[in-house]
Amino acid sequence: MTAYPELKLLIDGEWCDASTGATQDVINPATEEVLGTLPAASPADLDAALQSAQRGFEVWSTMSPYGRAAILVAAAQLIRARTEQIAMSVTLENGKPLAEARMEIGTVVDILEFSAEEGKRLHGRIVEGRAPGVRHHVVKEPVGVCLAITPWNFPINTVAKKLGAALGAGCSVILKASNETPASALHLVRALVDAGLPAGVVNVVFGPSAQLTNHLMSSDIVRKVSLTGSVPVGKQLAVFAAERMQRLTMELGGHAPVVVFDDVDIGKAIDLLVPGKFRNSGQICISPTRFFVQDAIYSQFVDAFTERAAAIKVGNGIEDGTMMGPLANARRLGAMDGFVADARARGATITTGGERIGNKGYFFAPTVIKDAPDDSMVMTEEPFGPLAPMTRFTTIDEVAERANALELGLASYAVTNSLDRASRIGDALQAGMVGINTVGIAIPETPFGGVKESGYGVEGGPESLEHYVVPKSIALKTVL
């Protein structure tokens, strides 16, 4: 088995420990064993990273888009060659099966290559002036030093989204990656460094999240912040950023409804939705979660979904045949127990699962909750785990209203063989992304983002790079 890598900070092109020697343990969620020790950056380390990022920006922003693209592409090639090594780190610290880790790494390669190409196309324009001899040049300049804050559930994919867009646009970055999945992020950054990224263009720090974020955002050096995290944290950072008018991109989670119409082939719907629901143990912000099933097929669909969920092999992600790994940390186990207890208290039925598996590792059984009330916790709060609450609906207008009832709007799904229903429900669902007869809604070429309290700004697509540039208008008269 590939060894878990040594964990370091990256400041001004140097891999280093924290200046104070402070560390914290990184835990394997499948075994609860310590994988390694992570340096916790001190205020002095953060100040060094800020100064380094400012110098890195001065170098990177003046490099041609083609030069920047060449480094991003070279890094993508290195990641592709190192897939097995990186996948093992992802699985060891996150818990997802190796097959899912490999898929995530493949997407990372695509993201970097896409960002490299889009960076070449951040074109400005020339506008003819209204006065004789005057032309207006609209140019797009990189915004400056960016702070990227990434989560543990997609520990290398979310890093690639933020770094790819920022670097493609000519910005430098301070990366605050998850303390629970640090090696995954470091693998990506090491590939960039090995590909020739100049010192200071990317700096990596770890440590207490609130402390680090507050320190970095208090600096006038940081001009843009990109967060993937919870709604409460996003709101706090939005207030903090307002003090310095720092730009923000925020992906703050969701609670995706799934509308299952009665004209579908139930077997095909199950084939699509069960793997989509339990991928990464349901720890996905766009995970299909609130299942609204039309009356005529409700009982049959719940029974079939239950049978398939009960057959999922749960275990250590490095073992052959594992279909679902552990939850990422012990906190998620307690959260799942709370959701299940509340559902039972409100009259719902647990048709499979509903409890922890074993007493070592953070394993929780794939769980189906039948007749979940609309006001239950699992239907109103994002569970971020392997829970599939089911409820019935009658009409399309009714289900659209119920699906849109929450103040979250990241992803929504529907399955139907009716083009009319597909069109109507696609228009009615309030979300930044909608999947009709597919759960594959996130690809590098399209925007990834939400509405309402799911945040603002996007990652993915050409639109993602626009968040990292400032349009400047230059009115030019060649002769005075």
pLDDT digits (tens, 9 = 90+) for 325-361: 999 999 999 999 999 999 999 999 999 999 999 999 9
Say if residue 228's pLDDT is above 70: yes
Q: Which domains does the chain have, with CATH numbers?
A: 9-252+454-474 (3.40.605.10), 256-442 (3.40.309.10)
- In the predicted model, what is the mean pLDDT of residues 78-98? 98
Catalytic site includes residue 285: yes
Catalytic site includes residue 84: no
Select which of 251, 382, 453, 459 is catalytic.
251
Say if residue 315's pLDDT is above 90: yes
Contact 28, 93 (CB under 8 A): yes
Indicate the residue type of 433.
M
DSSP-derived letter for residue 97 is -
Confidence of residue 1 (pLDDT cuts 50, 70, 90): low
- In the predicted model, what is the mean pLDDT of residues 161-190? 98
| Number of helices followed by number of strands (H, E) in the chain | 15, 22
Confidence of residue 480 (pLDDT cuts 50, 70, 90): confident
Percent of the chain with pLDDT over 90: 97
| Nearby residues of 176 by Cβ (< 8 Å), 6 or more positions away | 147, 148, 149, 150, 205, 206, 209, 212, 213, 216
Contact 310, 275 (CB under 8 A): no
**How far is the C-alpha of 350 from the C-alpha of 345, rounded, in Å?**
11
Specify the pLDDT at position 2. 66
- pTM for the model stands at 0.95
DSSP-derived letter for residue 229 is S
* Of 41, 377, 435, 446, residue with least CA distance to 203: 41
Q: What integer best gives the mean pLDDT of the chain?
A: 97
* Of 225, 201, 193, 159, residue with least CA distance to 63: 201
Specify the pLDDT at position 43. 97
Say if residue 313's pLDDT is above 70: yes
Contact 35, 27 (CB under 8 A): yes
Select which of 171, 285, 382, 459 is catalytic.
285
Give me the phi and psi of 70, to 5 degrees please.
-60, -40
